[in-house]
Amino acid sequence: MKSLQSSPKKDGFRMPGEFEPHKGVYILWPERPDNWRNGGKPAQHTFVNVAKAISKFEHVTVGVSDDQYENARHLLPDEVEVVEISNDDSWIRDCGPSFVVNDAGDIRGVDWTFNAWGGLVDGLYFPWDKDDRVAQKVTELEHADRYRLDDFILEGGSIHVDGEGTLITTEECLLSEGRNSQLSKDQIESVLKEYLNLDKVIWLKNGIYHDETNGHVDNIANFVRPGVVALAWTDDENDPQYAISKENYDILSNATDAKGRKIQVEKSMFQSLF
């Protein structure tokens, strides 16, 4: 598959919303002992249950290391596809490609640079080179061309789109020192618009309190459909999350999307652990 030198915006491709129809999902198998207790065994059984549940509705592909291939193939049901994909950890939402589509239904992958949520500044582990190759391997498996950005760090969970030209993200994450500190906020926004085919970026301030990903937006705000955002919320004013959620609520409820619609915010209640 080709590595393209143009951009999705130039080529007429856009990133669809998560709520739009799609052909399947990818999962990476957990195993590293510093992230998963007991050698990842409890997590593996949970991942098996997740894969089984999803496979009732769509195709599931599980990427595993060579050391774990036989274990994963034994535990997972036959209808779940198991492929060997070397990786450093199991969070393919963040290290995998952002797929973009055109009106003809063709797909391509955007392959961002991945540095384990902050690199040597405040990343969660080292090395991360295997994770950084996951997106290319997935696009190869899908027979899709890709756009590779060697000079722009991004994780899939740090952005959320409505499929109609609007993206939400957090300043806490995308402006963090361990990602693209050489770029200004406007420059980062320009890259997002070019490679996801966007017209508008809505910047929230922060994500979930003490989130180890530096405030990924997928933990706090998601498009349910165009014009409607579900926002993590607590009514407990003593919870450190309360002020963060209130600030983000004010930003979203006063914003409009790329189509000019006023954003409707639906509060999703949760209980903080702090």
Q: What is the pLDDT of residue 189?
A: 98
191: tokens are 């890259």
User: Letter for the amino acid at 2?
Assistant: K
Q: What is the pLDDT of residue 272?
A: 60
Q: How confident is the model at residue 225 (pLDDT cuts 50, 70, 90)?
A: very high
- Report the domain count for the chain: 1
- 2 in a structural domain: no
SS3 of residue 133 by DSSP: helix
- 55 in a structural domain: yes
- 159 in a structural domain: yes
Residue 84: CB atoms within 10 Å: 12
Q: What is the pLDDT of residue 154?
A: 98
Q: Running DSSP on this structure, what letter comes out for residue 216? A: -
- 62 in a structural domain: yes
- 224 in a structural domain: yes
Distance CA 5, CA 12 (A): 14
Per the CB < 8 A criterion, the answer to whether 80 and 55 are in contact is yes
- 100 in a structural domain: yes
Query: Which domain CATH number covers 245?
Result: 3.75.10.10
Q: How confident is the model at residue 175 (pLDDT cuts 50, 70, 90)?
A: very high
Domain that holds residue 238: 8-269
Residues in the chain: 274
What residues contact residue 7 under an 8 Å CB cut-off, 6+ apart?
147, 194, 195
Per the CB < 8 A criterion, the answer to whether 106 and 100 are in contact is no
Residue 77 has pLDDT above 80, yes or no: yes
Distance CA 28, CA 43 (A): 11
SS3 of residue 221 by DSSP: strand
| Predicted confidence (pLDDT) per residue in 101-143, tens digit | 999 999 999 999 999 999 999 999 999 999 999 999 999 999 9
Per the CB < 8 A criterion, the answer to whether 186 and 145 are in contact is no
| Predicted confidence (pLDDT) per residue in 18-45, tens digit | 999 999 999 999 999 999 999 899 999 9
Give the C-alpha distances (Å, rounded to integers) separating 158 from 60, 73, 172, 257.
23, 31, 10, 18
Strands 228-233 and 264-269 turn out to be parallel
Q: Where are the alpha helices (DSSP H) in the chain?
A: 8-11, 41-55, 69-75, 92-95, 119-122, 129-141, 171-174, 185-196, 240-253
Residue 190: CB atoms within 10 Å: 14
SS3 of residue 161 by DSSP: strand
Distance CA 168, CA 231 (A): 12
- 3 in a structural domain: no
